[in-house]
Amino acid sequence: MTGPPAPPGNRWLPVISLTLLAAAAAALITATQERTQQRIADNEAAEMMKGLAAVLPDGDYDNQPYRDRIMVVDAELLGSNDPQPVYRVRKSGRPVAAVIAVTARNGYVGPIRLLVGISASGTVTGVRVVTHRETPGLGDRIEAKKSNWLSIFAGHSATRPDYDQWLVKRDGGDFDQMTGATVTSRSVVSAVRDAVRYFQEHRDTIFE
């Protein structure tokens, strides 16, 4: 014999329970993804701030440059057909410096992406490598942790030296090349020179 039929309300309890469990699981997954994405964003922001701070004078600004940026395109001077970021650096709203992302296209192995800090007066405040594939033990000495070669650019500008002297000494210019890595050195010197030139030509637009 079969028992009495289940009351109509009880018949839907399993379905309701599964629906509630599925909704709870979806909410948990969404919350986890949001927390993960926020951590990734925070880590990226921290790394970007570290990179920007490395090419700027200490304590000379009070804004957050990684949030105050414009995207620009200049394949000739910035080394890429894609939009490149220019980070504006300010103190009390007044221009202090800009950090320009530029690509040295003719590295020994491949393109070298750089950040070039330039003061509001047009003087280089620092240069750091973002990415590269240069030869270990030779060209990779462009990394700040492996040599201080990039420090040779600090203090230089569009007129110190003149543009035609922004070359390595082997080519008759003013800049030392890294021993055994002349091609890498030559490429970076040219890219920094072009970033300085871009700043000189677009300073007012950058700080609008």
CA distance 137 to 36: 37
pLDDT attached to residue 19:
79
Where is pLDDT greater, at 203 or 8?
Answer: 203
Domain ranges of the chain: 9-53, 55-206
pLDDT digits (tens, 9 = 90+) for 92-136: 999 999 999 999 999 999 999 999 999 999 999 999 999 999 999
CA atoms within 13 A on the CB side of 186: 11
Q: How far apart are CA 131 and CA 171, in angstroms?
A: 26
pTM, full prediction: 0.79
The tens digit of pLDDT for each residue in 27-73 reads: 778 777 766 666 655 555 566 677 788 999 777 899 989 899 999 99
At 138-185, the pLDDT tens digits run: 999 999 999 999 999 999 998 888 888 999 999 999 999 999 999 999
